[in-house]
Amino acid sequence: MKVTEIKQYRVQDPKGRGGYYVIKINTDAGISGLGEVGIRGWGNAIESAIDHLGEIVIGSDPWETERLWQIMFRAGFFPADTVYSCAISAIDIALWDIKGKSVEKPVYKLLGGPVRDKVICYPHIGGATIEKLVDSAKEHWDKGWKFARWHQPPTHGDLTEPGILDPRDGIKVSVQAMEAVRTALPDIQICFDLHTRIDTTHAIQMCRELEPFKPFFVEDPIRSENAASYKKVSEKVNLPIAAGEQWGSKWGFREVIENEWIDYARIDLCIAGGITEALKITHWAETHYIDIVPHNPLGPVSAAACVQLCMASTNVGVQEMPRQPGTFATDLFPQQIEWEDGYAWAPDVPGLGVELDEDVAAANSVTDSKSFTPRLLRSDGAFTNW
């Protein structure tokens, strides 16, 4: 069996918000696989990277995922950057989908077999005010979700808009919001994402003030460029820390895992190198008793890849699942993974368990990828991370 082509689809959801950047790899055996790109806004650059990597992948045996990963990452002599790691990730996930389909097994059975029947998940909640945030949390709780996640809000204006974020005011708003959710829902597990939005000193202060509400974790309290700075945070914060969604390979995770500066590894399978690389990071984290909480703000292909990994991994904390699988993008992805009562699982079907309607994808294709995240500003007009 050999790879014959790599097709790319950048599409808008015809019946909902957002879009997806997926690829489909075809083989001469009539078996195909799906992958997903982690940074959709960099589409033009990643499209070129996938075309470039196609020179390596097309004509190769899709079963040789380790060999292909090494060549894709290293064949340019300079190690792959995040653009190329996103391209490698999508290709690698699609190859694993093909491998599973070729032997009529779900991917998790190729990763060692299931260690659990289902994977606990957390959704994204939100609201323009703290009251509406609480309402959103209650709505999800009533539907069976056991967790709730929201991120550091702005401090002036609508909490769902970019707006102005003053670090000192940000501490007050965040504490008020978490106190309100905890009071309304004493048993819900809270995942709070600081989203790298404030400086290290204020992030530490905020985490200390959030301690009474016992969140499941605080995520990305600082920026990711210098992993060694997590040493300072971990020594001064008495809350579980989750980080890693911005790291493009195992090397980004090296210091924080080896020094145990984080409690949860936020591997993004669509950025960090696909299933091949995520499996290595997961087992590495296991040796330090660090659980994975895979980053998954994307679509059904990403969700399926994450759940396949979690079903075959011992050290899993919780899986990010912004929306309930099977309730969105069903025209594009008529087959998706399963969900019930706060848990997701991959069905016992070959491959990832997701299928793409290429006709719908072609009819809803988009080419404009000149997009950046919203601009979040300090009160003095300085730019900060979104």
Cβ–Cβ under 8 Å, residues 198 and 152: yes
Q: Cβ of 109: how many Cβ atoms within 10 Å?
A: 18
HEC string of 264-283 equals EECCCCCCCCHHHHHHHHHH
> Which two tokens mark 364?
């809803």
Cα–Cα distance measured from residue 163 to residue 170, given in angstroms and rounded to the nearest whole number: 12
> Residue 55: CB partners within 8 Å, gap ≥ 6?
none
Cα–Cα distance measured from residue 305 to residue 114, given in angstroms and rounded to the nearest whole number: 14
- CB-based burial label for 347 (10 Å; 0-12, 13-18, 19+): exposed
> Residue 340: CB partners within 8 Å, gap ≥ 6?
144
Q: What is the DSSP letter of 60?
A: S
Q: List beta partners, residue 34.
A: 24
Run of H or E residues at 94: helix 82-102
Cβ–Cβ under 8 Å, residues 181 and 188: yes
- CB-based burial label for 295 (10 Å; 0-12, 13-18, 19+): buried
> Which two tokens mark 162?
């970019």
CA dihedral 269, 272, 273, 275 (to 10 degrees): -30
Q: Which residues are catalytic?
A: 195, 295
Q: What is the DSSP letter of 372?
A: -
Cα–Cα distance measured from residue 294 to residue 245, given in angstroms and rounded to the nearest whole number: 8
Mark residue 162 as left, alpha or beta (left: phi above 0; alpha: psi -120 to 50; beta: remaining). Answer: alpha
